[in-house]
Amino acid sequence: MKTISLNVNGKAHKGLAIEARTQLADVLRDELNLTGTHLGCEHGVCGACTVLIDGVPARSCISLAVACDNAEITTIEGMDDDEVMKSLRTAFTEEHGLQCGFCTPGMLASARDVVLRMPDASDQEIRYAMSGNLCRCTGYVGIVKAVKRVIDERRAAGLAQIVNPRTEVGPVGSGHAEVMAADPAGIVLPASTAPKAAPARATAAGKLKADDSRPMTRLQQSFTVAFPRDEVWEFFGRLDQVTTCLPGASLLNEPTATHVEPRLRVKVGPIVADFEGAADVERDDATYTGTIYGSARDTKSASATRGEVEYVLSPINGGAETRVDVQVGFALTGPLAQFSRSGIVMDIAKRMTDAFAQNLHQRLSNRDNPDAAAESQITELNAGSLLFSVLRSRVTGFFKRLFGH
Ligand code: FES
Ligand code: FES
C-alpha cells in the first residue's frame, strides 16, 4: 500500500492509503464518493472519466493515483462556480448537447479546455479537439454548437482570454509525486514520467535485446508436451518449425540458427493486426533454457511492440514428457496499446499458447510426414470466442460496478 495526498476540488485529502496500481478514477469514485467522474471504457478511449490534474484535462481511468500525489484535482463537482463551466452548462442544455448525460462530465471538462485554449476555434477545430470524448446517444452536432456558442459569446463580450500555460497536447501528471520518488519499485510509471528510452537495440553481438528501462506487461504460461525433453529441445532449435507452430505466424525469409524474421497476424473481433518483425534467440544447452528478443511493427496501424520470451524445459513423468514454462514480457505502443492492460491480452496469450502446444504436438508426432502435420495445424485463433470472452468480462465488470460486489 502507498500513502498519498490529493487536493480535490480545493479540499485536502491527506493519508489516502491505496494500492500502487489504483487509478485516480477509482480513488475519486470509491474513496471520495465523487461519482460525477464516470467510467466508460476504462482504457483511455472514451473520455468519460476526464478530470483536471493541475488544471490540465486528463483521463483519470489511466492515471495512477500515486502519480498524482500532491496534485490539484478538479472534478465536475468542483466546477459548479466556474464561469466558463456555467456558460457551457447553459449552452449544452439549450443546444441539446446531452441526452443521458453519461459522457457529459468528461465532455464538459474537455470543452472548458477548448474554450480557454482556442478562442478562435472553427467548428472543424472544435470537432478535432473534442474527438477524444465519445458520446453514445446524443450525437455531436449539439455538442459542437454548444462549445462554439460559448467561444463566440466570450469573444463578443471581450472576456479576457485565460492563458493556458500548456504548449502541447499530451499526457499529464502532477510531476510532484513524492511517493514515487521515494519508492519507485513495483510502480509502472505513466508515459509522462517514464524515462525516455530507446527501442529494442542491437548489442555487440547483434542481438535485439529488449530495453529493460521501460515498463513491460508480463505474463506466464505453461504447457506439457508428450515427448522427452531432448526431442523438444532439438525441435525448439529449428526456428522455421517453431515459428509456424504459432497460429497466424509465417516467415518473411529463411531464418538462421539464431535469427528469425516472422509475420504474425492476430484477429480479435473486428481488429486485425499484422505484425512484421525480427527476433534473436539465445539458447543454453546445459540448462535447457532459451530467450528470444524481438520487436515488431503492425503494418496496418502505427502500433509497435518489443519484448522478450524466456522458456525453460523440464522433464516430467519420468522423462516421458516435458513441461514448457514460458515467461513473456512485452510493451505495446500506438493504437493497440490500449489492450495491453486488459484481460484481452491474457486471453489471447492463453489461446495462443494452447494452439502452439497442439501444433507442436502435431509437428513432433509427424516428423516424417510434414504435410500431415501442416494439415492438422491450428492456423488461426478463434476470433469469435475471443471477442465473446472480452465482452463477457466487460459486462461482468459493469454489473460489479453497478451493484458494488
Ligand atoms: S473511462 Fe477513461 S477514457 Fe473511457
Ligand atoms: S449524452 Fe449520453 S453518452 Fe453522451
Task: Establish whether residue 133 lines the binding site of ligand 2, counting it when its CB lies within 6 angstroms of any ligand atom.
Answer: no
Torsion sign across C-alpha atoms 229, 235, 236, 242: negative
Task: Establish whether residue 48 lines the binding site of ligand 1, counting it when its CB lies within 6 angstroms of any ligand atom.
Answer: yes
Ligand 2: atom nearest CA of 107 is 4
Task: Quote the pLDDT of residue 307.
Answer: 81
The Å distance, Cα 110 to ligand 2 centre, comes to 14
Which position has the grid cell 448525460? 101
Task: Establish whether residue 46 lines the binding site of ligand 2, counting it when its CB lies within 6 angstroms of any ligand atom.
Answer: no
Domains, the chain, ordered by start: 2-164 (3.10.20.30), 201-403 (3.30.530.20)
Ligand 1: atom nearest CA of 59 is 2
Task: Quote the pLDDT of residue 145.
Answer: 97
Task: Quote the pLDDT of residue 200.
Answer: 38
Q: What are phi and psi of 273, to 5 degrees?
A: -115, 135
Task: Quote the pLDDT of residue 206.
Answer: 39
Q: Give the whole-angstrom CA distance, residue 291 versus residue 308.
A: 7
Report which protein residue has its CA nearest ligand 2's atom 2. Answer: 100
Task: Quote the pLDDT of residue 180.
Answer: 42
| Helices assigned H by DSSP within 328-368 | 343-365
Q: What are phi and psi of 143, to 5 degrees?
A: -65, -45
Task: Quote the pLDDT of residue 41.
Answer: 93
The Å distance, Cα 135 to ligand 2 centre, comes to 5
For the chain, give the number of residues: 405
Report which protein residue has its CA nearest ligand 1's atom 3. Answer: 44
Which position has the grid cell 460496478? 401
Task: Quote the pLDDT of residue 344.
Answer: 65
The pTM of this model reads 0.48
The Å distance, Cα 98 to ligand 2 centre, comes to 6
Task: Establish whether residue 130 lines the binding site of ligand 2, counting it when its CB lies within 6 angstroms of any ligand atom.
Answer: no
Task: Quote the pLDDT of residue 88.
Answer: 97
Task: Quote the pLDDT of residue 74.
Answer: 95
Say if strands 72-74 and 2-8 run parallel, antiparallel, or are unpaired.
parallel
Task: Quote the pLDDT of residue 203.
Answer: 37
CB 6 within 8 A of CB 71: yes
Give the number of whichever ligand sits closest to the CA of residue 93: 2
Amino acid at the residue 257: A
Q: Which of 104, 141, 144 to mutate to test the pocket of ligand 2 (most atoms within 8 A of CB)?
A: 104
Task: Quote the pLDDT of residue 403.
Answer: 58
Q: What are phi and psi of 84, to 5 degrees?
A: -65, -40
For the chain (length 405 residues), average pLDDT per consecutive 10?
A: 92 93 94 95 94 91 91 94 95 96 96 91 92 92 97 87 56 53 37 35 39 58 91 91 85 90 79 85 94 86 80 94 88 68 67 84 84 77 55 59 55
Task: Quote the pLDDT of residue 50.
Answer: 96
